[in-house]
Amino acid sequence: MNVRKWPRKNDAESIRARQQALGLDGGVTAIDLEPFARAQEMLTGAAVLPVSVVGPLELELGEYELREPDGELAETGRATDSVFVPLAHTEGGLSASLHRGARAVAESGGFRTYVLADRITRASCFVCGSAEEAVTLSRFLDAHVAELRRWLAERVEADPALSKYAKLREVETHVVGPMCHVMWAFTTGDACGPNMMTRNAYALNMGFVMERAPVKPERAILEANMGGDKKPSHRYFERGGHGKTVIAECTLSEEAVRRVLRTSIDDLLELSWAGTHGAVASGMQSVAFTPASAIAAIFAATGQDLGMVGTSSMAHGTGKRVEGGLNCTIRLAGLEVGTVGGGTTLPYARSWLSLMGCAGAGKVYRFAQIVAAATLALEISASAAMATAGSHEFFKAHHERGGLR
Amino acid sequence: MNVRKWPRKNDAESIRARQQALGLDGGVTAIDLEPFARAQEMLTGAAVLPVSVVGPLELELGEYELREPDGELAETGRATDSVFVPLAHTEGGLSASLHRGARAVAESGGFRTYVLADRITRASCFVCGSAEEAVTLSRFLDAHVAELRRWLAERVEADPALSKYAKLREVETHVVGPMCHVMWAFTTGDACGPNMMTRNAYALNMGFVMERAPVKPERAILEANMGGDKKPSHRYFERGGHGKTVIAECTLSEEAVRRVLRTSIDDLLELSWAGTHGAVASGMQSVAFTPASAIAAIFAATGQDLGMVGTSSMAHGTGKRVEGGLNCTIRLAGLEVGTVGGGTTLPYARSWLSLMGCAGAGKVYRFAQIVAAATLALEISASAAMATAGSHEFFKAHHERGGLR
Amino acid sequence: MNVRKWPRKNDAESIRARQQALGLDGGVTAIDLEPFARAQEMLTGAAVLPVSVVGPLELELGEYELREPDGELAETGRATDSVFVPLAHTEGGLSASLHRGARAVAESGGFRTYVLADRITRASCFVCGSAEEAVTLSRFLDAHVAELRRWLAERVEADPALSKYAKLREVETHVVGPMCHVMWAFTTGDACGPNMMTRNAYALNMGFVMERAPVKPERAILEANMGGDKKPSHRYFERGGHGKTVIAECTLSEEAVRRVLRTSIDDLLELSWAGTHGAVASGMQSVAFTPASAIAAIFAATGQDLGMVGTSSMAHGTGKRVEGGLNCTIRLAGLEVGTVGGGTTLPYARSWLSLMGCAGAGKVYRFAQIVAAATLALEISASAAMATAGSHEFFKAHHERGGLR
Amino acid sequence: MNVRKWPRKNDAESIRARQQALGLDGGVTAIDLEPFARAQEMLTGAAVLPVSVVGPLELELGEYELREPDGELAETGRATDSVFVPLAHTEGGLSASLHRGARAVAESGGFRTYVLADRITRASCFVCGSAEEAVTLSRFLDAHVAELRRWLAERVEADPALSKYAKLREVETHVVGPMCHVMWAFTTGDACGPNMMTRNAYALNMGFVMERAPVKPERAILEANMGGDKKPSHRYFERGGHGKTVIAECTLSEEAVRRVLRTSIDDLLELSWAGTHGAVASGMQSVAFTPASAIAAIFAATGQDLGMVGTSSMAHGTGKRVEGGLNCTIRLAGLEVGTVGGGTTLPYARSWLSLMGCAGAGKVYRFAQIVAAATLALEISASAAMATAGSHEFFKAHHERGGLR
């Protein structure tokens, strides 16, 4: 089969042609692909992931809205809820562990979650003839943020190729050499939003900057790696700006630590101390145990972009003895989630989002907080398994349940 | 529903009980879960991901074996092959883009891939009473590597709870404060191997170190974050040690760049230059464009651990003008893949692995190289879309195909 | 001699007592210490560093002022100048190399320098009872920036222990766990300013935050490592905020590269490419060759804080072929310099600052730009020595001049 | 004055000519420069730094030797000593603070120090035509380490331009793209050694690799930034390899913490916890307070390379409650020090080294340990000043003593 001749369309016939050419049959071709016909090109079959449901997570969540015109994120209320969480994965022990963490927290008064920020950034780069010109451009942009916002707001009304949802909020420039990198920070409603912001950033680059800048850049690059897209970076670990910045916390009671987690607060604190220093020693940006396991499992069930597991898992966890027990928190700097658009509209994903009350518009902050709470549940339980002297529990957990490995 | 009462077993009745309690029906409950019954706890339904197949990738791959007793990775031959690659995802444009990259490379003579290293590391930590004791312990371990290897080799023969596949290769210590971190580096055959190495590391900790060390550590922690597990870190980005270190390269012809990728070598080099400096400026460890998209899509299709998308995507790409065109490479420091064990044995995953000739024993180096080549194909095509002045192509690609977002 | 009895004062008698107790005589006790009596405690002798003077550097510098009340840094003019630079060090080859770089740039039209930002940050940390409280505190501070500025401005008028020069400009909060880190960003006139901002930050912490915050923090820590003090960090490498952010650039002519630097533009670009990737591979934050050598030598001559050599040397350099030759730049993210206060008032330092026209008030931006230009001069020359095939020049340079090592 | 005409020699007449051309007189020209005539080019005057002497530090130090032929660092004994430390700087409060720390430690039983490793690395880069060739080269080098060592050992006997002291110990390769980076790890006796290793690395590059490699590299670059030279990097922070890796520790008694440091163990632990998380949050590689202040002050007094302050200050500190008090440690990953060669042979430096019993051959490990102990003394005292609730002590310390700022 020649690479140039591979049929590319997603009509039933093309799909069948590919399946036959590859000799595929059985399970992978048995699932109806029609609902997925617009989700990707050269559709050929299906993959099935088993989904567990664990919980309920007992949470106190914030309610949030973006204030116009600045896009300030305001907390408008708080409410409690019980939520079951779907986990799509094949890692023996993970669901049981997350469930155990949720139990320990439920018995300790539940999770509290906070959304601290909401932005998504496309970092374009204008290559100029010199640093002098790049500095001039950067000063021009710094001085025209209001105009840039207004120009885009008008433009999206007129041009259906642009998105009304991707609203420009802040503009930051970074000059290095003859390059003027420009961080266009957007909000994108309840969508994760990379594509809508890409279109709008392109319009800003070509329609505003390249037309009006006092110096003519040699080149406009839509994204030149300051945007935090799919590769963890310190900028977005510290400041957020690529998704929702969320904190989940709880205060575990001595009783729950002992009875449910089968360890002690002292043991957990020792582990936290050693694990933090181990992270520093190995140049690990995150300080956490296994946030990616929880985040990947929820992402896979709910149609999120799995290429964003690494960036969404940048995490900073803490543990501290407080009155009443052990305060445990996790800070997810940039949880790249949506409840509309992308894979979230597809059949299975939509069902799993619905289970959590997170399908559709107005749900993205809720969803982000549930993901953070579930992540903390797993952190707690996995830490507990590792914390007891000699980590006998951890060993047992993997030994007994991880039979597939 | 109380968190303590949630039924946990995976017999048909428990599954049904959970589905009913949650009011689930439709697609998510329609797929037979029996084959997944041992893959995770509290199984409740399924998620389906659409899979495209693109290619063929034209590759020259290395053949490798681990030499005993040291576990040296030796290249024993090289061969060429054409491989179709399955991609499970819902990102419009991704499959078409990767396919375009594969075409450009095929027209330029194909990919060449190399496996440079193969290890997986569990980093335990022994908390001692002082740095003095930790230094003593570290000297003891440095001096007893051969004994540690031998002890484990004997032990796995006797104890069925341990794994014969997870062979201890190197031992490295790192003293910081009163902690002696110990990096146990294993090979794990064709499995990704986290669980098997966990069991064997636990045996080393409790059976050898805690029994025989000249100082008695206060505490043995099975993993304290120097092991590179699921969180990107510089140690594993530079040195590998958590999966396969693989390089893929190709030399794109001027003709392929112009005709297939619709850009120029100069444009690609400018982008590479700006993108490298953008990565540095934002504290991005990887220098690459979107490796996680390709890796996540193949991982999801083939039963790999999606929690390892972030670590497996640590990437260092380069571009350089050479005689005959543009040399493009990507270095994946730690591709955490398996062709046996874990999710790879499950129905859909096994089919997609089989499509690439990568199912079962003896296939893991082949698989790692195919993943690296596919990743490079996407890097090239995504870069090309971004490289032309003004990035008009990139805009178009997202605009036309990314309709779902 | 008992550690508790060591005489601590700096009167002549105490100095003499220490010298005798230690048996010191000769050169180290021959220099009059009286001018240094207030510079540090337990003064006992002197160290002498030889100083070369190289140049002149031909520069086009910006003139800057801070606009009130926001502290916006505005460029008010540009001027050219020729400046000789003093270098205190003992590294054979360094002065000659920097001189050669200056010559190459002079023959290519000179340096252009830009100050992009000017702030110095003290990052206090308020430890609260929970993340919930830390979030509350952070919202309160975000909403009271104007009040904080006003409060401090009034307070410094009334309290002579505080500094009128350390003006609060921005306040940024960062919540992680139950901690609310607060970045107090100041300007400090022509002083480097760590002590004056420390006093004012303390006043803000204790006089405003601990008194008025809606939650009572358990603890106020004056600095908890988010402030970038004396340890390089990504935050300050990217964004500045601890000193002056300065860019120096030049465009080397082909002729100067060939005749003065004895290499070629192609060779320099190859080196830049390999060196950038080497920096990435080793987890080096800076991308540069040897900025610390130039910065340390000027700091030592001019009474700057040598403990800030590492942070002030965080550097991002670029090279790019442009019309007319090779564009070379260096970005120093946080050059921690002063022309008043601290060591700058002492005899030798003041003389060397005067040589550059940089002693006293109103000179700090000029000084920062000269340092950046000198740093770029050394970068260029050291790179050239390394760039020719086989680096024969570099070898020769060290071999011939580095006789002392 | 034209940049090309600046006189470059260091005879008395040239020095005088420069002084007159610049209009220099007074203190900066009053010191006899003759002893410095070979230390740098274009010598023109002097800078004087005041030096305090604090102590004594009460230490238990290790005695070490390098075992041939492998260069293994072996501890051959331990001894106690009392050492006074010279500090050249102008930072009010620093000497008093370090002294206070030394007192607290002396009253708690003194410091214990350990040298863990000793290497210095020159990282050359061979640019090949493809990754394929770079892989071939890397395999060749990996297989010829013994030959490389032998070749160099013979060569240094024959060629006076090479150094007998810079002995090749390990060779590590790192392939990225068509580059084969090669880390040549040396020991350099009691010298810091950058120049001697540079000469020997050059010989290896040109005399062995370029002559005998199975592929002909296009280019040999003597250093391409994987060598850790003067810019902090994760590689050298974690593994050492650029100087001595040293740990200093002590266990502070409750009594000393309370009476000398005027704080409590709980307060110090809280600070350590918050400071560690602050470091992580800001992307600070080191976890420490102000190691560079102590290191710069000793380096300036003793003729070390001040351009290495940043790299030598990479530090990882810990604090932990143990029986008997608070265990405090600092790990300096790569302390770049010498007791022979470079600036150490010059008059003032030699005197200050002698004061510590560290001048000349056989003293470098002693010196490295004293530096580490002094650094820890300052860490402890500076932390204590910051640790009490509200950090009132820290404020007072700066307020009272920092009058110069």
Report, in angstroms and rounded to the nearest whole number, the Rg of chain D calculated over CA atoms: 23
Please, are residues C404 and D343 in contact by the beta-carbon 8 Å criterion?
yes
Given a contact as 3+ CB pairs under 8 Å, which chains touch D?
A, B, C
Nearest-CB residue to D322 (from B129, B235, B322)? B129
| Longest CA span, chain D | 68
Query: Is residue C196's pLDDT more than 50?
Result: yes
Low-confidence stretches of chain D (pLDDT beneath 50): 399, 401-405
Task: Identify the CA nearest to C131 among candidates A103, A245, D4, D20.
Answer: A245
- For residues B48, B50, B54 and B60, what is the CA-based torsion angle, rounded to 10 degrees? -20
Question: What is the tens place of the pLDDT at every residue in C81-91?
Answer: 999 999 999 99
Q: What angle do CA B62, B66, B70 make, to 5 degrees?
A: 140
A280 at interface of D, judged by CB pairs closer than 8 A = yes
3-state secondary structure of C101: helix
Instruction: Determine whether A320 is an active site residue.
Output: no
DSSP string, B42-76: SEEEEEEEEEEEEEEEEEEEEEEEEETTTTEEEEE
User: Which of D9, D144, D174, D230 is the catalytic position?
Assistant: D230
Whether A181 and B281 lie within 8 Å, measured CB to CB: yes
Q: Determine the pLDDT at residue B318.
A: 98
DSSP string, D304-359: --GGGHHHHT-EEEEEEEETTEEEEEEEEEEE---SBSGGGGSHHHHHHHHHTT--
Beta strands in C39-164 (DSSP E): 43-67, 72-88, 111-127
**Residue B247: its chain D contacts at CB < 8 A?**
131, 135, 175-176
Two tokens, residue A67 = 């204030």
Whether D277 and A279 lie within 8 Å, measured CB to CB: no
Measured between alpha carbons, how far is B238 from B245 in angstroms, rounded to an integer?
10
Question: What is the tens place of the pLDDT at every residue in C89-147?
Answer: 999 999 999 999 999 999 999 999 999 999 999 999 999 999 999 999 999 999 999 99
**Residue B84: its chain A contacts at CB < 8 A?**
1, 22
For residue A269, the 8-state DSSP code is H
**Residue A235: its chain C contacts at CB < 8 A?**
234, 238
Please, are residues A281 and B220 in contact by the beta-carbon 8 Å criterion?
no
Whether C36 and D55 lie within 8 Å, measured CB to CB: no
3-state secondary structure of B356: coil
Plot region of C13 (φ>0 → left; ψ -120 to 50 → alpha; else → beta): alpha
Amino acid in position C397 = A
Please, are residues B163 and B147 in contact by the beta-carbon 8 Å criterion?
no
Cβ pairs bridging A and C (under 8 Å): 100
Whether D28 and C348 lie within 8 Å, measured CB to CB: yes
C217 at interface of A, judged by CB pairs closer than 8 A = no
Q: In which residue are the tokens 């640019």 written?
A: D127
Phi, psi angles (nearest 5°) of residue C5: -105, 0
Cβ pairs bridging A and D (under 8 Å): 34
Two tokens, residue C304 = 């700057």
Task: Please give the mean pLDDT across all residues of chain D.
Answer: 94
| Consecutive H or E run containing A335 | strand A325-335
Q: Determine the pLDDT at residue C395.
A: 55
C359 at interface of D, judged by CB pairs closer than 8 A = no
Total Cβ atoms within 10 A of residue A67: 10
CA distance D360 to chain C (A): 13
CA distance A74 to chain D (A): 24
Give percent of chain B with pLDDT exceeding 70.
Answer: 95
Whether C130 and A323 lie within 8 Å, measured CB to CB: no
Total Cβ atoms within 10 A of residue A266: 12
| Consecutive H or E run containing D179 | strand D179-187
Mutate to test the interface with D, among C6, C97, C231 (most CBs of D within 10 A): C231
Which residues neighbour C225 within 8 Å (Cβ) at sequence distance 6 or greater?
C123, C231, D274, D275, D276, D278, D279, D282, D284, D287, D289
Task: Identify the CA nearest to B90 among candidates B394, B293, B337, B342.
Answer: B293
Q: Determine the pLDDT at residue D395.
A: 55
Measured between alpha carbons, how far is C209 from C206 in angstroms, rounded to an integer?
6
For residue D261, the 8-state DSSP code is S
Number of H helices, E strands in chain D: 15, 9
3-state secondary structure of D389: helix
Phi, psi angles (nearest 5°) of residue A166: -85, 95
User: Which of B118, B305, B336, B379 is the catalytic position?
Assistant: B305
Please, are residues C73 and C167 in contact by the beta-carbon 8 Å criterion?
no
Instruction: Determine whether A91 is an active site residue.
Output: yes
The terminus-to-terminus CA distance of chain A in angstroms comes to 35
Please, are residues D216 and C401 in contact by the beta-carbon 8 Å criterion?
no
Task: Identify the CA nearest to B255 among candidates B107, B68, B354, B81.
Answer: B107
Q: In which residue are the tokens 């199975």 written?
A: D214
3-state secondary structure of A219: strand
Instruction: Find residues 96-135 of chain A whose CB sits inside 8 Å of chain B.
Output: 96, 99, 102-103, 106, 123, 125, 127
Two tokens, residue A316 = 């900073």
Residue of A nearest to C317 (CA): A177
**Per-residue confidence of chain A (405 residues) as pLDDT tens digits?**
566 678 889 999 999 999 999 999 889 999 999 999 999 999 999 999 999 999 999 999 999 999 998 999 999 999 999 999 999 999 999 999 999 999 999 999 999 999 999 999 999 999 999 999 999 999 999 999 999 999 999 999 999 999 999 999 999 999 999 999 999 999 999 999 999 999 999 999 999 999 999 999 999 999 999 999 999 999 999 999 999 999 999 999 999 999 999 999 999 999 999 999 999 999 999 999 999 999 999 999 999 999 999 999 999 999 999 999 999 999 999 999 999 999 999 999 999 999 999 999 999 999 999 999 999 999 999 999 988 755 455 555 554 444 333
Please, are residues A125 and A137 in contact by the beta-carbon 8 Å criterion?
no
B302 at interface of D, judged by CB pairs closer than 8 A = no
Please, are residues A378 and A101 in contact by the beta-carbon 8 Å criterion?
yes
Given a contact as 3+ CB pairs under 8 Å, which chains touch C?
A, B, D
Whether C225 and D276 lie within 8 Å, measured CB to CB: yes
A62 at interface of B, judged by CB pairs closer than 8 A = no
What is the Cα C248 distance to its own chain's centre?
Answer: 15
CA distances from C285 to A250, A316, C242, D234, D235 (A): 35, 21, 16, 8, 11
User: Which of D164, D216, D392, D396 is the catalytic position?
Assistant: D392
Instruction: Determine whether B396 is an active site residue.
Output: no
Low-confidence stretches of chain B (pLDDT beneath 70): 1-4, 389-405
What is the Cα D146 distance to its own chain's centre?
Answer: 29
Instruction: Find residues 363-392 of chain B whose CB sits inside 8 Å of chain A.
Output: 386-387, 389-392
**Prediction pTM value:** 0.96
Residue of A nearest to B174 (CA): A281
For β-strands B219-221 and B111-127, DSSP reports them as: antiparallel
Total Cβ atoms within 10 A of residue D361: 10
B282 at interface of C, judged by CB pairs closer than 8 A = yes
Task: Identify the CA nearest to B48 among candidates B350, B304, B404, B348.
Answer: B348
What's the ipTM?
Answer: 0.96
Total Cβ atoms within 10 A of residue D136: 18
Q: Determine the pLDDT at residue A3.
A: 61
Task: Identify the CA nearest to B377 among candidates A3, A156, D286, D134.
Answer: A3
Please, are residues B174 and B228 in contact by the beta-carbon 8 Å criterion?
no
Task: Please give the mean pLDDT across all residues of chain C.
Answer: 94
Q: In terms of C-beta density within 10 A (0-12 exposed, 13-18 middle, 19 or more buried), how is residue B357 classed?
A: middle
Which residues neighbour C306 within 8 Å (Cβ) at sequence distance 6 or greater?
C296, C299, C300, D89, D296, D297, D299, D300, D306, D309
Measured between alpha carbons, how far is B373 from B59 in angstroms, rounded to an integer?
8
Measured between alpha carbons, how far is D251 from D257 in angstroms, rounded to an integer?
10
**Residue D46: its chain C contacts at CB < 8 A?**
48-51, 348
Q: Determine the pLDDT at residue C402.
A: 43
**Residue A131: its chain C contacts at CB < 8 A?**
112, 114, 247, 249, 327, 329
CA distance D383 to chain A (A): 18
Residue of B nearest to D248 (CA): B131
Which residues neighbour A368 within 8 Å (Cβ) at sequence distance 6 or greater?
A115, A243, A244, A246, A335, A337
Q: Determine the pLDDT at residue B146.
A: 97
Q: Determine the pLDDT at residue B388.
A: 74
Give percent of chain C with pLDDT exceeding 70.
Answer: 95
Task: Identify the CA nearest to D52 among candidates C307, C345, C22.
Answer: C22
User: Which of A91, A170, A172, A393 is the catalytic position?
Assistant: A91
Whether A316 and D277 lie within 8 Å, measured CB to CB: yes
Q: In which residue are the tokens 């969320």 written?
A: A246
Task: Identify the CA nearest to C297 among candidates B395, A8, D305.
Answer: D305
Question: What is the tens place of the pLDDT at every residue in D124-162?
Answer: 999 999 999 999 999 999 999 999 999 999 999 999 999
- For residues C248, C253, C255 and C256, what is the CA-based torsion angle, rounded to 10 degrees? -10
Mutate to test the interface with B, among D76, D181, D320 (most CBs of B within 10 A): D320
Please, are residues A192 and A305 in contact by the beta-carbon 8 Å criterion?
yes
DSSP string, D23-78: T--THHHHS--GGGTTTSSSEEEEEEEEEEEEEEEEEEEEEEEEETTTTEEEEEEE
Please, are residues A272 and A382 in contact by the beta-carbon 8 Å criterion?
no
Question: What is the tens place of the pLDDT at every residue in C266-282?
Answer: 999 999 999 999 999 99
